[in-house]
Structures are given as C-alpha cells and as structure tokens.
Structure 1
C-alpha cells in the first residue's frame, strides 16, 4: 500500500506536475464565474514554473542532501561488497539503456575493478505501477556487468525490490553481512541520506559512497540560473521528492532519523 500511495501522491503533488495542473485549472476557470481567482491561480502557477525552470532554486533544494555524506577515496579498502541501488538502468529493444543517474553504474564498475575480491550487489526490480515489465533493472545490470567482462561469480542480483526500503531489507536478507565486513553503498548523492537511513534501520551497516552530483558544491549553486529547462526541472523533482520521501519514511518508521547523517 505504501508503494502504491507514494507513486500516486507524487504523480499529482510533485512541484512541477502540481504547477502545471494548477495552470490547467486556471485556464478552465477563466471561462466561468471564477475568472478572477483563476487569474491569481494562473499567476502563481506561472511564477512557480519560472522559478523551477530557470532560477537556482532546484540546486538550493538538492545541495543540502548532496552535502550530507562526504565523498570517499575509491581505492580505500578492504571492501567485502559493493551495493548499487537501482534507478539508473533499464532495457529497451533488448539493449541496456541509462538515465541521467548513470554515474551509479559507471562508478560501481570502477569500484569493482579497484576491489577485485569484493562482491558486486545490484538491487532493483521494477517500480512500474501501471504494468509489469519483461526485464527488471537487475537483469539489465547483469547484462551490463557481464558484457564489460566482470566475473559473473562476483555478482549478486536482487530483483524483487520496488523502492529504497525494499532495497535495504531484501539486500540484507540476500547477502547476510557478517560483523566486521565493510560494505559500500553506491547511489546518487541526493538520495544517500534516505538510503543510509533505511539500511541502518534494516540492521545493515554500510558506508556511504555518494556519486551522481547535481550541484557543484560552490557558492555558484545559489546564484547561477539554469540554461537548460529540462535539467532544472529534473533537479527540482529529485530534490523535492527526496525531502518529502525523508519525511514520509521517518513517519512510517523506515528510517532512524528525519535527515540521516554520517
């Protein structure tokens, strides 16, 4: 139920979607006796869209999440296992495809080569709410990892999880970590606080290895406008979604803190 509700609620209440729906409502009301409030709704929706599409606001929202866990040296060891969260890979027409968070996969390959004795764990099934998919993210990851020459014996694939909490719970059951082992958790930096929170709550002690940064980490983040609207909107969507997700996961008892930290 939590999975379904989270998908449906965010479909409507993500900032970009909500602003577009508000603008549509204003357009419809403009031809009724509610024309005056429609103008205010339309104005507010337009201002919101402009801020989300062009201003530094998306970076200001996402940067505190990306700053929460420090970067690590890739070669620091020893490492028992490398856990990669889904959300960056899929299949289309029988071929592997990536989205804008592809750094999760490329950095995972780098880590796997730097630590040849470590297990490489990928966790991700299908988060599709409407219909079943023929190929899970885990199957796409297998094709990628084996295709670039990684030893199949090193791979551990978890293909049932649909969200971050299930990533943590199902992965812990699958790998059964031993005391004293060092496991790296690889995911987007903006997604790391919630990820670390659920892994801790699941009883799996992992170390954060954040990748896929969407802010530069300089004062420029708060003053430079966006030149590409699609990038700004995606950054805003990811950032706001994570803050809402942190609150929802904390209220549901899935994380150990509202904003997990080192």
Structure 2
C-alpha cells in the first residue's frame, strides 16, 4: 500500500505532474499534428524531463562528478591552511544573509578539519550579483563563529564571484603569504571544476570534499520522478555547462 502511495504521489506533485501533462500533450500531437518537427520536439522534451527528474539523470550527470571527488580526496596528512569555496548565500529581508545549504556543508567540513589540524580556514566568496551589502565571506565568518572558531583562525577572500576567480584570488593570497600547499574543500559535485581551475593556476592542493548531495545506492523509488533528483541534476548540469565554458575560455 505504501509503495502504491509513493507511485501516485510522485505523479501528483511536480515534476511528475508536469511529465503527465507533457505526455498527454505529446500523445495528442501525434494524433492531431502533421508536423514531424513538433512531434520530435515534444517527444524529446518529454524524454529529457523524465531523464532529469529521475535517477537516470543522476547516474549520468551527477555520479561521475561526485565519484571523481571521492577518488581524489585524501586523508589528513600535514598541517596546511584550509581553503573553502563559497556556495552562495540566502539573503534575508533585513539585508543580512546566511550561508546556503551547500556553503554550510562545506564550512562544517572545514571546521571538522580545523579541529583536527588546528590550521586557518580561508573562505573564498565575494558579493553575489544584486546583493552588494553582504558578502559570502561575511556570512561564513558568522557561521563559523557560531561553531566556535576563533577569529584569529579565520581569513577571507571576498572578491571572487566564480570558481575561476576563487582560484585566481587564492593564488594571489598564497603568493602574498608564501604558502605552498592547501586543503581544498568544496562539495563533491563541484570538485572537478574546482580542481581543474586550481591546477590551471598551479596551486598545490589536497582535495577534501564536503559530501554528496544524492544517494549513491538506488532503489526503484529513485527512478520515479522526484524533486530531489530534479534539483541535484540541475546542479550537476550547471557544473557540466561550467566545465565546457571553462574549457572554451581556456580557464582549465
């Protein structure tokens, strides 16, 4: 009975609801339209929506990125500064902000490493577009302070607005402080692009991802349309587009 409820609910709520609507429209077009192009576009859109809303998309888009992060992540070896890449802010009505879920996950991992190594945390993240009064670095400082991090163990780089700029400004900071190696902390799905960008700047780093954002062991329920799969697939798709863009711009 519970399984039946899960199946029904997956198609009553988005994205499953939209898949049903698009399926009805596609079937209607096959009977009523003479245009092969319209039929093709409707079918392709339906297939893509199913793909990106289920574990089929997760296997193709997300898992290769997260598996790469798992492969290159290392155990703690030596005492090096911990560089955390920004993952965005949530902005409040009073003008303040707090780190996004992804940022908090990265910061929590960095603080965990700090408690083992007792080295500095350097957060790289500037001001988001349209929000010029509160940087990611400011929000990160407040969050880490709440966890118990001493102020002298925190530094920020508050200019970067992209992964490429993260690497660019961290390279400058490393040169100014005569530091040769760092721990690089970011989400598993974001590690590939980050690692390539940092290597392009000839930064010596040890990778340590902050965690996965979706199951790596699937049940049949994961192959039903679900909001979680749609959300993580969009994040992964954003990464793949970013990777291609960086290749075209010779940034990685």
Structure 2 length as normaliser, TM-score?
A: 0.75
Deviations 1:170-212 (A, max 9, x none): 1121232646x44100001121111111111112111111122
Shift of 1:112: 1.4
Using a 3 Å threshold, how does the CA distance of structure 1 residues 164 and 122 change in structure 2: closer, same or farther?
same
Deviations 1:89-126 (A, max 9, x none): 4442435242355321211111111111x111000113
Alignment RMSD (CA, Å): 3.0
Which runs of 5 or more structure 2 residues have no equivalent in the other structure? 1-14
Using a 3 Å threshold, how does the CA distance of structure 1 residues 201 and 55 change in structure 2: closer, same or farther?
closer
Helix, strand or coil: the match of 1:232? helix
Alignment match, 1:157:
156
Distance 2:167 2:245 in 1: 16
Deviations 1:127-158 (A, max 9, x none): 42xx2332111110011112222111121111
Distance 1:119 1:240 in 2: 33
Name the one with the larger helix percent.
Answer: 2
Q: Would the aligned equivalents of 1:53 and 1:232 in 2 still touch at CA under 8 Å?
A: yes
Distance 2:193 2:157 in 1: 19
Q: 1:239 aligns with which of 214, 236, 239?
A: 236
Alignment match, 1:11:
none
Using a 3 Å threshold, how does the CA distance of structure 1 residues 51 and 206 change in structure 2: closer, same or farther?
same
Structure 1 length as normaliser, TM-score?
A: 0.73
Alignment match, 1:103:
105
Alignment of 1:1-262 (within 5 A): 36=35, 37-69=37-69, 70=71, 71-73=73-75, 76-92=76-92, 93=94, 94=96, 96-100=98-102, 102-116=104-118, 118-128=119-129, 131-176=130-175, 178=178, 181-218=180-217, 220=218, 225-226=222-223, 229-255=226-252
Which runs of 5 or more structure 1 residues have no equivalent in the other structure? 1-15, 256-262
Helix, strand or coil: the match of 1:183? strand
Q: Would the aligned equivalents of 2:214 and 2:229 in 1 still touch at CA under 8 Å?
A: no
Which structure is larger by alpha-carbon Rg, 1 or 2?
2
Distance 2:200 2:102 in 1: 28
